[in-house]
Amino acid sequence: MKNLVKCDVQRCKGCYVCISHCPKGCLTIDSSINSQGYVPVSTVSEADCIGCGMCVLSCPEPFALKVIKENKDRVCKSA
Ligand code: SF4
Ligand code: SF4
C-alpha cells in the first residue's frame, strides 16, 4: 500500500497552501468546481507521496485533507 492523500472536495476552499507546502509535488489544482464554487485540490502523484503530512498541517480547512500512511494504519487529518 502506498501513502494515500485524499481531499474532501466539498470542504476545500481552493487556497492551494497545501500545494505550495508539498515537498514532492504530489498535489495540483483539479479541473472541477465544488458546490461552494471553489476549484479544489487533487492528487496527481500518490506514488511520490512520502506521508510527511505537510499538506494536512498547512491546510486551514478542517478535515479537508487526509493522509493514510503506508503500512502504518495511521491517518493524518486536518482538524
Ligand atoms: S490547503 Fe486545504 S483548503 Fe487550501 S487548497 Fe489545500 S485542501 Fe483546499
Ligand atoms: S503527505 Fe507530504 S508528500 Fe504527501 S501529499 Fe502531503 S505534503 Fe505531499
Pairing of strands 65-68, 4-7: antiparallel
| pLDDT tens-place string over residues 14-45 | 999 999 999 999 999 999 999 999 999 998 88
Indicate whether residue 54 lines ligand 1 (CB < 6 A). no
pLDDT 10s digits, 53-76: 999 999 999 999 999 887 665 666
**Domains of the chain (ranges, CATH numbers):** 4-77 (3.30.70.20)
Contact status, residue 32 vs residue 40, Cβ threshold 8 Å: yes
Where are any strands of DSSP class E within 1-79? 4-7, 27-29, 41-43, 65-68, 75-77
For the CA of 3, the nearest atom of ligand 2: 4
Question: Does ligand 2 lie within 6 Å of residue 50's CB atom?
Answer: yes
- pLDDT for 54: 96
State in Å: Cα 17 to ligand 1 middle.
6
